[in-house]
Every structure is written in structure tokens, then in C-alpha cells.
Chain A
Amino acid sequence: KNQVEQSPQSLIILEGKNCTLQCNYTVSPFSNLRWYKQDTGRGPVSLTIMTFSENTKSNGRYTATLDADTKQSSLHITASQLSDSASYICVVGSVGGTYKYIFGTGTRLKVLA
């Protein structure tokens, strides 16, 4: 069964600290993996998109890694800011099957001053 699991479900960190969010998937065939940031009451905003051949991609203080062999991805946030408080959603794209995108349920991050 195609699934995307994210951990932790929620996380609280102090401003300025780093953190890493995890995404494990069992989607096959795999095409790509995206990380989105969703602020409360808003739609998701794309942070990174990685295909099979890419194992790291950065967007400012956000760095995503992908290990296609172990089917794991992580999103590392450096020097967190209050504005990083949001839900982070991992999405895996597949070129086969009925569903083109399988979404994780997200990690809710809270950054405290």
C-alpha cells in the first residue's frame, strides 16, 4: 500500500535552534518527493522538489535530503525563526496507479521565542 509517514507529529523548539523532520514512504513506483510548508489558514507552499537522482536540495534555511534506497527523506531547518512555525508536509509523486500524489499528514512545528 502506498503510504507516506512523517515524524514527529509535532515539535516545539526554541528560536535559533536547528531541527530535522522525517518522512518515510512506501510509494512505488517513485517519481519525486516534495516538501511543503503550510501556515495556519493558508494553502501549502512548495519548499523543495527532488527526483530520484537528487539526494539533497536547499531553499534558504531549508535543506531536504532524499535516500531513494531506504525510501527516506528529511527536512532540516537551520537557525529557526518564529515564522517557521507551521505544518510541514511531505508529498511523494508516483507515475503509476490511480493517485499521482500521496501526502503525509504533516509535522506541526512550533518555534518559541
Chain B
Amino acid sequence: KAGVTQTPRYLIKTRGQQVTLSCSPISGHRSVSWYQQTPGQGLQFLFEYFSETQRNKGNFPGRFSGRQFSNSRSEMNVSTLELGDSALYLCASSLRVDAGRANYGYTFGSGTRLTVV
């Protein structure tokens, strides 16, 4: 069965622009979460969506937003891009919302590498 698909794989944007990243979860998975990965900070949780509703949110500014569609596909938007937004953005899908309680496995996509110049 197909894995988690993220598009595009690579993206170059200039400061001040906005960007939209897409994530298609594994068929049947209804939870999609987003992460930012940078060499200095490692992986950081952005937000999680389940049934088109944001269920959990990390500590990122309001420039970072997301949404989920009825088919569970999710998009993440970053507005007014800054140089520091350059990172690998990963999305992961799961059957259900995992409130930190363990037993639901997350499957990650290969990520979108965003470079802001």
C-alpha cells in the first residue's frame, strides 16, 4: 500500500513569500501531523489534524497554519517566509489522534525541503 506522500520534494522561495506544502496520508489514516526539522533544533512538532480539525498544536508563530480535507489530505501554509524557515518539513499519518499515549504508530513521509533565500 502506498506510503505517506509529500509534495513537492524540494522548494526554493524568497523572503516574504508564502508557501503551501501538501501531504497525502496512508489510505485509511485519518490523523496527519506536521513537523519541522532543522540541523540545530532537530524535529519540532507543528500541529496535528484529525477529521478536518486541528487537535494539537506546537509552539510556532501564527505564520504557520494548516488544514485537513475530508479525504484526510492535509496542507501546511507558511506566510511571510523568513530565512529561518528553511528546513525539512515532514508529515506523518496515523489511524487516530495519538494523545501521547503510545500505541498508535506514525508513518512519516520523505518530507519537503524548503529553502528560503
Chain A residues in contact with chain B, CB under 8 A? 31-32, 41-46, 49, 51, 89, 91, 93-96, 98-101, 103-106
Q: Is B81 an interface residue (CB 8 A)?
A: no
Asked whether B110 lies within 8 Å of A94 as measured between CB atoms, the reply is: no
Q: Are A44 and B44 in contact (CB under 8 A)?
A: no
- Cross-interface CB contact of A95 among B48, B101, B105, cutoff 8 Å: B101
Q: Does B98 contact A43, Cβ atoms closer than 8 Å?
A: no
- Does B16 count as interface, using CB distance less than 8 angstroms? no
B37-90 at interface with A (beta carbon < 8 Å): 41-45, 48, 56-59, 90
A103 near B100: Cβ-Cβ < 8 Å? no
Q: Say if the beta carbon of B92 comes within 8 Å of chain A.
A: yes
By secondary structure, the B interface counts as loop
Cβ of A31 and Cβ of B110 under 8 Å apart? Answer: no
In this complex, the interface size class of chain B, counting residues with CB under 8 Å from chain A, is 20 to 34
Give 12 new A-B contacts, CB below 8 A, not counting A32-B100, A32-B103: A31-B102, A43-B108, A49-B103, A49-B105, A89-B43, A93-B100, A95-B101, A96-B100, A98-B57, A100-B99, A103-B43, A103-B45
| Interface core residue of B43, B48, B56, B110 (most chain A CB under 10 Å) | B43
Give me 26 A-to-B residue pairs in the complex whose CB atoms sit less than 8 angstroms apart, sorted by A's number.
A31-B100, A31-B102, A32-B100, A32-B101, A32-B102, A42-B111, A43-B92, A43-B108, A43-B109, A44-B43, A46-B106, A49-B102, A49-B105, A95-B99, A96-B100, A98-B59, A99-B45, A100-B45, A100-B48, A100-B99, A100-B100, A101-B45, A103-B45, A104-B42, A105-B41, A105-B42
B residues lining the A interface (CB < 8 Å): 4, 41-45, 48, 56-59, 90, 92, 98-103, 105-106, 108-111
> Contact: B45 with A93, CB < 8 Å?
no
